[in-house]
Structure 1
Amino acid sequence: MVITDRELRWTGRLGSVVAALSALGLVAMLVAAAPGADAAGESESAITISWNGDTSSAAAFQPQRSPESIHFGDFDDLKVTVSKTKNLTDEVVGVTVTGMPGPTRQLNLGTGPVTVGANFVQAMQCWGDPAAADFYQNCQFGAAGYAASPQQASTFTQLGPAGSPVTRGGTEVDVPFRSADGTMYSSLPIGLGQPPAGVTRVDQLFAPTTSNEQLGLVGNDRTATFGFETQSAATAPHLNCGGSTAGGSNRCWLVVVPRGEHASTPTEKCQLPGLGIPEEQVAQLGSPVNPDCDYWANRVVVPLDFQPVRSACAAGSQEVRLVGTELAASAMSSWQRQLCSSAGTAFTLNTVADATARDQLVAGGSTFVMTNRPATAEGLDEEGAQQLRDAAIVYAPTTVSAVSIAFIASKERQVVTDIKLSPRLIAKMLTQSYGALGGGAFYRNIDPVPGWNTNPLYLSRDPEFTALNPNVPANMDQGQLIVTGPSGSDAISQVWAYLQADNDARAFLAGDADPWGMRINPYFLPKGAANAQVPTMQENTSPDRLSTSLDPVPGAFTKVGLIKPDGSPLCLCDTPMDTIGKSDDTLMPRVIQLQLNQTLRYDSLQAWPYAENYHQAASLVFRADTGSKTEWDGSYFNGPTVTPGRYRANGLSFPWDTYLNGLIDSPTALHYQLNQAQLQLPNQPGVFARPDETGMSRAVASAVATSTPGVSVVDPAKVGAGAYPLTLITYSAVNLQKSTPELRASYANFLEYVATSGQVSGTGIGELPPGYLPLDAAAIERTKAIAQTVRTYVPPPVGGEDDLESFVDGEGFAESFGDAADVPVLAAPGSAAETVIAKTDVDPGGKTENVANPVALALGCTLLLGLAGALGSPVLMRRRAVL
């Protein structure tokens, strides 16, 4: 565990904060972990619809096209292809629109020709009857709202919109949104008109950072290609796709509205151009869903059939709760429904911090845990060590997956799909050492801050990055790395082991400059190191009291840096870690404007926040959303006696000019159709590996045995060429001594499924989702043997001892997963004491009245556990010795 001076101040309230966030985020967390296509594959549900003269199965849902329309010539050849339309959950489907006009057009605005991006498409998810006259009210919009309000109008130019092309109504025209329960919501822009009495604003339902509306840009080939994030009723109850509440439907709609060479025919209630620009020269002012504009008549309607959100298992099914790593969540989400029918049991996975799961396993609070590391006596007090000795724990290989740096990247419409990263580059990102991604820019004009305040502003401007990626456009900006937290995990431990195995990364973490002079953010140095200091700042109010500024105190410095729980300096270069800190304590902005009611500053946790889990991280990357809340809204109402103003979400990056990374597991990255970076092997310049089948297979082949028989791990320091160093093997661990016969029978059924149908790769229900490597033959046989042992286990007589040697040393497993060798340096189990989630009591006789879809089953309980974390942590961690 890493503790800074600042963290000592807020660790005590962290549990309560996490609990509150977890409770508030319960619905948003319910993101399906795996594509829900049928076993035959998703290609069978793909569809192509022609804008004019369609003959597909969706022809009856398309509006009539009039040759007299000014848009007819723009879209006569247009076709929309969607990669998957059936068995949908919360996932990403591919959309391709062909036959559009070219990406730009030339306008003469009186000062010469101007190139504008006139042509694009808008894709929205809608519910209801597409033949209804008011169907337009049922569509979720507003994701591309780059200004203060998603309803603001703009001209869509090559430099990007001044406001947004996603205008719903006008400044005076209200085009309401109707939710699936019939409630009407006003879409009037903030500050422009007032909603009717008793009508709630639509931003209470969705906003630019939560809407799944997608803006598709047209390339030089007259094609727009993008991913569209379908949202089930679990994520968007106001659309109710999949029917989690009364009146819901398994069918919803993807509505694609093309925007071509011509603006709408002007009407009284359709947005009109301003600035004296002739209507025919304006690039697409107006709303795609305003019926008084004629864009809505150009829509293409695609049926989307969702899996039912309810009734994953029949009412009365036995429920067995499993605990463990999020790396297994995608597989569990796929396996769950098949297990309901084949085993008659609702298996649910409660994802918790890995060290906490192992503590529960040893103590018997949970008798089935999915883990990447075995439970050991390291860090346990005598009571805990005795419990471990008494426990009869067996480990069965379950899944193989990886942690990856998933990304989206583009510059001026050039999409980047392949990026290489070194351990040192990742170390720079994790320590917020780039100027614009930490406090470096704040101190940029203040001397001296040795090395740090001259660091590159962004990853893409780092000479090390450009040397590895010569084909990537320069200055893509951002490059922020979204990470999960503050919980600890074995996956994060694997990342730190990877960095510490590399000489260059280790030297950077210790404080050495890279060959171009870049140094680590001082906040991440060991406390007491020579450069672990920043200028001391003091508040100065302007004479006219219109602003206040943090200015340096001449010659004064404040000591910073990391410490261990015992108060000694902590170096990221060699300390086992299972968390990623946000230790930069810089308060920003440097100047606040009092006349705008700007009275507060924000810190790194607000500017570069954690994602709660891999799925939220992947969703943020997919949307080009950093999650930051650093834009000041001086008019926000805080109450009758409180000064108005707050920081609001920054919104989405421009889709044609963005670069965002996320530390995400490989199944979730593929689920969101994200690209994954190649990683350089430690101390092997020019040698890279990918998180694909080849990379993971080679990593598993080089896995080393731990001191626990039957459990091997991938050591990043020992992988060979082509082996992906962040590969992780997940085991199902069963505490035989603490479990009941009824639970052991259910566990055995689960393991037998894992070792058979559960290792068949595919996108169908019950299959192993993309991003997982199937277990090899030896590992499968071991899991089957463990399943049989679990089923037939008989506790020893009182005073007797379990003899587990016959099956923990199963034949063939060591050869498959690597010979015995030194175990890599990894975080001590339970070292992240601040990340504690409450103990789960497994109820062997539990019944489910109405089990939710795999989304809620696999991930939803994580939040409930987090809610109890503040109360449960003292009990769970009392057996851990203080290091």
Structure 2
Amino acid sequence: MTAFSPRRLAALVVAVGTVLLTGVVTAAPAGAADPVDYRQTKTLTREHVATDGTTTTVDSREVTVQVDRTQSLRGRERIHVSWSGARPSAGRSADPYGFNGMNQEYPVVILQCRGVDDASAPEAEQVRPETCWTSTYLQRYAAGVVSAGVWRHDRYASDEDRADQETLPGWPAECGLLPGSVFAQHLLPFEAASGTVYPSCSNTTIAPESAIDAALPPADIAAFTNLDGTGDVQFEMRTSTENESLGCSSEVPCTLVVIPIMGLSCLDADPACLQTGDFAPGSSNLSDVGVDDAVSPRFWWSESNWRNRFSVPLDFALPPDACDVLDSRAPVGMYGSELLNQASLQWAPAYCLRADRFKFQHNRMPESSALRLLGTGDAVAAFVSDAARSSTVDLAYAPTAVTGFGVAFVADLPDNAGELTQLRMTPRLLAKLLTQSYPATNDVRAHEGLENNPLALNTDPEFLELNPGLSTVAAEAKATILSLSEASDVMTAVTGYLAADPEAMAFLGGEPDPWGMRVNPSYQDIDVPREDWPMLDTYVRESTRECEQLIRSPYLGLVAAPVNSLRKISEAVLDAWPNVQTQCTRSTTTDPWKFGRIARQNYGVRFMLGLVSLGDAERYGLRTAELRTAGTGPGATFVAPSVATMSTAVAQATQTAPGKPFTFDRTSLDPTGYPGTMVVSTAARVSGLDAADAGHVAQFIRTATTEGQISGPGNGQLPDGFVPIASTGPTAALYAAAQQAASTIEAQKGPAVAPPTTPATVPLGAATGSLAVRPPAPRSGGVPVGGTPQTVDGLPAPASADVEAAGPSGTTVAQESGAGGTAVKATLGLALAGVLGAPLLRSLATRRRAS
């Protein structure tokens, strides 16, 4: 649990007072290009000192680094880091993360470090190499023959760094002593947030999160620069929740350090220091052979490299347990849709940190279960997308969020060519994956009906026609899509997408695709749409493995291995860790066998699909597939999620009657609308609900559909992956229905329509007339939920999607408009008197990610 110090709270109160007095809302200048949270340009040089004392510049470059988002960051969120003007890299590693990326030349090292790069700050709070996180000790400790100690010849290094470190006071005994006449050693301890100093010279002297078998894969990276000097990566943030030793949080400032490696500047004519590289620019180092150390990332900490750093200040959001820490009131629990998770995470502090509101708590569960709790009186509200199939009480449904599902993917291109950035999927391909119609391995071809089917998705001619250039080496993880094991309105929407497509329905009915692939007989004629997806296949493969001979489990069910939450799916795709449960494990040779999860996929050969929420996809920086909406073959239309394409879709959502949820007829959607779009509504009883609870629900609806629709990462704002609901444009009907439902729920006079009341909260922007919100940046070629500037209440709605001709496959792709927008950094403070006996902060300091 994160502690909130009195000093920190006092500072927050001062911030609140300042904002309340000034009401400041600042924006980037009109017409500013590529507004981002951070951009800086520096001249980086490599200079050698000759024997006569003169200096020679051997390389000089104007390097620009920019980061799309630095404010209100959350654990495991990925931010987009890009650069230009850097020296092209050489000897590209198959895996650039952690120690695996050390054998490269001229990469860009990116690290998350504790502290601020501000000389005026106390020394203990300044960022230093000792406070930068690396995933292994080998990135901090150097030892080798004296001639290999190139850091000793760094012209900018201190005398201490050039000296025989092991002879200096304070050398840790556990790090051993090597004879200085033969070996050179350098030690860079890691200083943890707790004050503990880890020598970091072996696997036993490192911080606990730095183990080789750590729970999370490395985030630190030595990234490759293209031949034109540009490059980009998505860097994963770690908070104190994920990395306690690093300790980044809303209270502990941290910095993203970006170091374009130019090569060490040499003090003398040492041959190893003067090296310029063994590999040609743009080449690969697939064999992981040694490189010239002077131009490698191995000595990122040496002063020649460290002085070239770009320091990006990072601001972290309140932790997930902030309301439990700061608000002792009992929560008002609302239950249901996981689609709302990311919004609920940002909305909750806007309620619990105000004494005039209640302590909001979102408890995720299947929507049908949440609706049953409404009927029994055990819940005050439920978040759902579909109406209750049967109910003993009358309910009103208030549209609260526009979001949806996506097919997330991670895939590497062959020959070390990088990641796949665009994927196209059809309803029939999704049907093939869900019905376990790919055998996965050759010995499952004995399964009746699967004899002639492709082994996996990446060997299916239908998939390859749409997605050429991928590896065709089959694997179990490539034969499935990680999906949900429990009932969900998301599954209703996914299977509704299948049910609306004639090709998918023909395949489910037993008709082979044009290449002869047939549906798994266990799933033939399955009813769709449906809220759950059952595991129907019972085939047990014959295997020589002892565990499979002893444990007779349906094999394809182990390959599919669905899970009970969309978040788990997102994190699995983020880590490229399939949930395939075919690994035979046991603790000792006498223990019984059990099936377990296979290992994470290695960088360079990853391929995995998962069904995710768009909110999760945006937080974790996951790429999502374009889904086919019309046509077949080369003339088909594929649509990616964006504000524009989702707005097109939501404009066609309808109610069966006033007070009912907005749903879609997926057989008649506009082909330029994203078919995964969904509306999440807040459902509540319209009679028999306690007056206080009815007031809480009405307040939640009014707040969530006004100030909660301001796009941004701050407390109370709407995160990426959602389309803002406004009183005009394609979501106008949703906005009006929400206000109507809030009044009906508050009145508790039954289903009779009550006149809407004026919302209790005023949309941000009312005081200034308007507030434009900048869309997020593309994620390394992916298409995020974002687009033209989104306005809040009473302002123009987003433009409709453009349909553009696609690439070589000849299909068309509906994409968001490329129109620019004004970047806004809004700071809003709200007085929070009475909570925990003192005012507390609701601070919104945000800037949208920019393209």
TM-score normalised over the length of structure 1: 0.62
Alpha-carbon distance, 1:358 to partner: 1.0
Aligned residue type for 2:699: N
Is the Cα contact below 8 Å between 2:709 and 2:724 reproduced in 1? yes
Partner of 1:787: 742
Alpha-carbon distance, 1:739 to partner: 2.4
Assess, with a 3 A threshold, how the Cα gap between structure 1 residues 647 and 740 changes in structure 2: closer, same or farther. Answer: closer
Partner of 1:669: 617
Q: Deviations over 1:614-666 (max 9, x none)?
A: 34433433444435576789xx9x479769999676234425x5443331222
Partner of 1:328: 340
Q: Matched residues in 2 for 1:408 and 1:710: separation?
A: 38
Is the Cα contact below 8 Å between 1:118 and 1:260 reproduced in 2? no
Q: Deviations over 1:423-461 (max 9, x none)?
A: 1011112233334xx4x43435xxx55562443344233
Partner of 1:7: none
Q: Matched residues in 2 for 1:648 and 1:141: separation?
A: 27
Aligned residue type for 1:141: T
Partner of 1:195: 204
Assess, with a 3 A threshold, how the Cα gap between structure 1 residues 450 and 394 changes in structure 2: closer, same or farther. Answer: closer
Is the Cα contact below 8 Å between 1:124 and 1:256 reproduced in 2? yes
- Comparing 599-608 with 478-487, which one deviates more in the overlay? 599-608
Q: What are the equivalent positions in structure 2 for 1:289-368 lying under 5 Å apart? A: 299-309=309-319, 311=322, 314-316=326-328, 319-340=331-352, 343-368=356-381
Assess, with a 3 A threshold, how the Cα gap between structure 1 residues 441 and 278 changes in structure 2: closer, same or farther. Answer: closer
Assess, with a 3 A threshold, how the Cα gap between structure 1 residues 41 and 250 changes in structure 2: closer, same or farther. Answer: farther
Q: Deviations over 1:570-619 (max 9, x none)?
A: x42x254323455566778945599xxx9999966665554553344334
Q: What are the equivalent positions in structure 2 for 1:333-732 lying under 5 Å apart? A: 333-340=345-352, 343-377=356-390, 388-389=391-392, 391-411=393-413, 412-413=416-417, 415-435=419-439, 438=440, 440-443=441-444, 448-449=446-447, 452-469=450-467, 473=470, 475=472, 482-521=481-520, 524-525=522-523, 571-572=525-526, 574-581=527-534, 590-592=543-545, 609-610=561-562, 613-627=565-579, 638=587, 650-655=599-604, 658-681=606-629, 686-706=636-656, 710-732=660-682
Q: Matched residues in 1 for 2:751 and 2:92: separation?
A: 81
Alignment counterpart, residue 38 of structure 2, candidates 47, 53, 60: 47
Partner of 1:228: 235
Q: CA RMSD in A?
A: 5.2
Alignment counterpart, residue 748 of structure 1, candidates 690, 698, 705: 698
Q: What secondary structure, in the 3-state scheme, does the structure 1 residue paired with 2:432 have?
A: helix
Q: Deviations over 1:189-237 (max 9, x none)?
A: 7xxxx736xx885456972744433452322222220111212333433
Is the Cα contact below 8 Å between 1:142 and 1:151 reproduced in 2? no
Alignment counterpart, residue 88 of structure 1, candidates 47, 65, 73: 73
Aligned residue type for 1:505: A
Alpha-carbon distance, 1:769 to partner: 2.8
Gaps of at least 5 residues in structure 1 are 1-37, 55-64, 108-115, 154-168, 244-248, 268-272, 378-387, 527-570, 795-801, 809-815, 817-845, 855-883
Is the Cα contact below 8 Å between 1:317 and 1:848 reproduced in 2? no
Alpha-carbon distance, 1:350 to partner: 0.9
Alpha-carbon distance, 1:751 to partner: 1.5
Aligned residue type for 1:425: L
Pairing 1:126–2:135 present: no
Alpha-carbon distance, 1:341 to partner: 5.4
Alpha-carbon distance, 1:368 to partner: 0.8
Q: Matched residues in 2 for 1:376 and 1:601: separation?
A: 38
Partner of 1:858: none
Q: Which has the higher contact order (CA 8 A, sep 6+)?
A: 1
Q: What are the equivalent positions in structure 2 for 1:173-192 lying under 5 Å apart? A: 179-183=192-196
Assess, with a 3 A threshold, how the Cα gap between structure 1 residues 442 and 175 changes in structure 2: closer, same or farther. Answer: farther
Q: Deviations over 1:278-310 (max 9, x none)?
A: 976579778467x68986676544321223436
Assess, with a 3 A threshold, how the Cα gap between structure 1 residues 501 and 315 changes in structure 2: closer, same or farther. Answer: closer
Q: What are the equivalent positions in structure 2 for 1:805-816 lying under 5 Å apart? A: none
Alpha-carbon distance, 1:404 to partner: 1.6
Alpha-carbon distance, 1:711 to partner: 2.6
Is the Cα contact below 8 Å between 1:483 and 1:611 reproduced in 2? yes
Is the Cα contact below 8 Å between 2:217 and 2:575 reproduced in 1? no
Q: What secondary structure, in the 3-state scheme, does the structure 2 residue paired with 1:744 have?
A: helix
Partner of 2:849: none
Assess, with a 3 A threshold, how the Cα gap between structure 1 residues 277 and 106 changes in structure 2: closer, same or farther. Answer: closer
Is the Cα contact below 8 Å between 1:96 and 1:225 reproduced in 2? yes
Q: What are the equivalent positions in structure 2 for 1:276-291 lying under 5 Å apart? A: 281=292, 287=298
Q: Matched residues in 1 for 2:363 and 2:718: separation?
A: 19
Q: How many aligned residue pairs are there?
A: 650
Aligned residue type for 1:217: F
Is the Cα contact below 8 Å between 1:511 and 1:525 reproduced in 2? no
Q: Matched residues in 1 for 2:705 and 2:660: separation?
A: 16
Alpha-carbon distance, 1:322 to partner: 1.4
Is the Cα contact below 8 Å between 2:436 and 2:480 reproduced in 1? no
Q: What secondary structure, in the 3-state scheme, does the structure 1 residue paired with 2:600 have?
A: coil
Assess, with a 3 A threshold, how the Cα gap between structure 1 residues 604 and 307 changes in structure 2: closer, same or farther. Answer: same
Alpha-carbon distance, 1:356 to partner: 0.8
Q: Matched residues in 1 for 2:403 and 2:110: separation?
A: 32
Alpha-carbon distance, 1:277 to partner: 12
Q: Matched residues in 1 for 2:839 and 2:437: separation?
A: 46
Alpha-carbon distance, 1:251 to partner: 0.8
Q: Matched residues in 2 for 1:139 and 1:187: separation?
A: 12
Q: Matched residues in 2 for 1:186 and 1:580: separation?
A: 51
Q: What are the equivalent positions in structure 2 for 1:819-834 lying under 5 Å apart? A: none
Alpha-carbon distance, 1:490 to partner: 0.4
Q: Matched residues in 2 for 1:85 and 1:261: separation?
A: 28
Is the Cα contact below 8 Å between 2:579 and 2:597 reproduced in 1? no
Q: Matched residues in 2 for 1:751 and 1:349: separation?
A: 13
Assess, with a 3 A threshold, how the Cα gap between structure 1 residues 288 and 626 changes in structure 2: closer, same or farther. Answer: farther
Alpha-carbon distance, 1:369 to partner: 0.8
Alpha-carbon distance, 1:674 to partner: 3.4
Q: Matched residues in 1 for 2:141 and 2:516: separation?
A: 46
Is the Cα contact below 8 Å between 1:117 and 1:283 reproduced in 2? no
TM-score normalised over the length of structure 2: 0.64
Aligned residue type for 1:514: D
Partner of 1:21: none
Q: Matched residues in 2 for 1:152 and 1:363: separation?
A: 65
Is the Cα contact below 8 Å between 1:406 and 1:663 reproduced in 2? yes
Q: Matched residues in 2 for 1:187 and 1:137: separation?
A: 10
